[in-house]
């Protein structure tokens, strides 16, 4: 099978011919239905050697759905053909955090060779992937596996960041969502469904802002020099109770710090590795500044319930797996609306975006 792999740090990924893997004891072989392209993959492609301790090559794709294809020795409780979502952060499985379902915060993460499928282990941008344990699979039920792929990260990550801030999201409160792309467009919907907060969407791209307003944001602010003032005006001068920064650049953290109100929560989810100088006066009193990483497997169940009830829905642009490089190029250029999802067996004529596929500048490898 063809797998879209990161083969060298600082280099574009490439398609490599690999054998269909066989599940070892305790493992599960999943036939991939779809795997989403996350902006974190773009960071991975750019970061230099030494930044992450993972072995190369590995297949990209860390938000993946599919069907159980084969069971390794000793695996019980899964039926062949059952549709599943892969829970993405793979911890040791036995520490306290892992037992609580929070493998994203595994206490032994430093001892693990990698962080998850598509993050050091082989992920979902191939026809099949190995999942090391049945505990990392969640039943999809009747959800469309292609539309459900982004739920495992683009929805789960904001869901976790929102859940921990819920006590502040009372009627009359405001939440500023900075960056309404893959994660942010899900955040806007989750906020609409689980809280009473008013959402201000902030982005550099008017098209992303339009989508955010369609999905429930009550106000759109273009991220320019005037953005902080506009958020202040929209909150009667008080500022936002919660800021969710899905970019994490110098400029967005600085904007968040300018608009957060005293006792608010400023959460940085984006991994642009921006810096922020912290001192006694750099934030209003009692502001809690935090990063968050992904979410728990229990929260993934909750996200799937929201989707099953029709209350949240990823806006997906579907690509054949063979066009993965093109999809990532479009993501880098800011031209993906919602989330790009790679589908291994999609034929070209089924693609949703013929215009985008005709871009000559991208130079995607094709198999
Ligand atoms: N912490 C985690 O667990 C976690 C999980 C997944 C992704 N991420 C990170 O979250 C970030 C977003 O990922 P994504 O897949 O949603 O990316 P995306 O490319 O789909 O969306 C990013 C959005 O931010 C907007 N943007 C860019 N610069 C901006 C600026 N200066 N001000 C306002 N808006 C700006 C873009 O127009 C786009 O709409 C990435 O850094 C990614 O690595 C973190
Ligand atoms: Zn991701
Ligand atoms: Zn653990």
For ligand 1, residues with CB inside 6 Å are 38-40, 43, 153, 157, 178-184, 202-205, 208, 223, 246-249, 251-252, 269-272, 292-294, 331, 334
d(CA 201, CA 7): 37
Q: What is the pLDDT of residues 150-199, one digit of tens each?
A: 999 999 999 999 999 999 999 999 999 999 999 999 999 999 999 999 99
Instruction: Note the pLDDT of residue 363.
Output: 29
Ligand located closest to 99 CA: 3
Average pLDDT over residues 124-151: 97
The ligand 1 atom at the shortest distance from the C-alpha of residue 269 is 1
Region of residue 319 (left: phi > 0; alpha: psi -120 to 50; beta: else): beta
Q: What is the pLDDT of residues 39-76, one digit of tens each?
A: 999 999 999 999 999 999 999 999 999 999 999 999 99
Q: Whole-model pTM?
A: 0.94
CA of 130 to the centre of ligand 1 (A): 28
CB 257 within 8 A of CB 283: yes
The ligand 1 atom at the shortest distance from the C-alpha of residue 38 is 15
Q: What is the pLDDT of residues 276-290, one digit of tens each?
A: 999 999 999 999 999
Which residue owns the Cα nearest ligand 1 atom 26?
179
CB 84 within 8 A of CB 66: yes
pLDDT band at 360 (very low <50, low <70, confident <90, very high): very low
d(CA 3, CA 76): 28
Ligand located closest to 103 CA: 3
Q: Is the pLDDT of residue 345 over 90?
A: no
- As a whole number, the mean pLDDT across the chain is 94
Q: Is the pLDDT of residue 357 over 90?
A: no
Instruction: Note the pLDDT of residue 346.
Output: 74
């Amino acid at each position: 099978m063809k797998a879209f792999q990161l083969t060298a740090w600082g280099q574009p990924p490439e398609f490599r011919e690999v054998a269909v893997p066989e599940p070892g004891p305790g493992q599960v072989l999943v036939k991939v239905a779809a795997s989403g392209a996350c902006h974190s993959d773009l960071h991975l492609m750019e970061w230099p050697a030494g930044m992450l301790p993972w072995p190369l090559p590995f297949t990209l794709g860390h938000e993946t759905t599919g069907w159980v294809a084969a069971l390794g020795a000793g695996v019980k409780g899964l039926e062949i053909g059952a549709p599943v979502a892969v829970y993405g952060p793979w911890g040791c499985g036995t520490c306290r955090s892992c037992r609580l379902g929070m493998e994203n915060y595994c206490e032994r993460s430093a001892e693990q060779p990698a962080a998850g499928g598509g993050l050091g282990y082989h992920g979902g941008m191939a026809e099949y992937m190995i999942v090391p344990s049945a505990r990392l699979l969640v039943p999809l039920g009747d959800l469309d596996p292609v539309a459900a792929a982004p739920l495992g990260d683009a929805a789960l990550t904001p869901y976790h960041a929102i859940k921990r801030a819920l006590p502040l999201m009372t009627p009359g409160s405001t939440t500023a969502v900075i960056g309404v792309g893959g994660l942010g467009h899900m955040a806007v919907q989750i906020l609409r469904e689980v809280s009473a907060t008013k959402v201000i969407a902030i982005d550099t791209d008017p098209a992303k802002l339009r989508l955010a307003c369609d999905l429930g944001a009550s106000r759109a602010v273009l991220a320019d020099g005037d953005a902080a003032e506009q958020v202040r005006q929209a909150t009667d001068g008080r500022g936002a109770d919660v800021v969710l920064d899905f970019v994490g650049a110098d400029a967005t953290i600085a904007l968040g710090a300018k608009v957060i109100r005293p006792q608010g929560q400023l959460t940085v989810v984006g991994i642009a590795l921006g810096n922020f100088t912290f001192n006694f006066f750099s934030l209003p009193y009692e502001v809690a500044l935090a990063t968050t990483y992904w979410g728990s497997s229990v929260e993934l169940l909750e996200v799937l319930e929201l989707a099953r009830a029709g209350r949240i829905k990823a806006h997906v642009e579907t690509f054949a797996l063979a066009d993965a490089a093109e999809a990532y190029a479009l993501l880098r250029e800011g031209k993906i609306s919602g989330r790009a999802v790679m589908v291994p067996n999609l034929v070209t004529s089924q693609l949703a975006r013929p215009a985008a596929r005709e871009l000559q500048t991208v130079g995607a490898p094709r198999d």
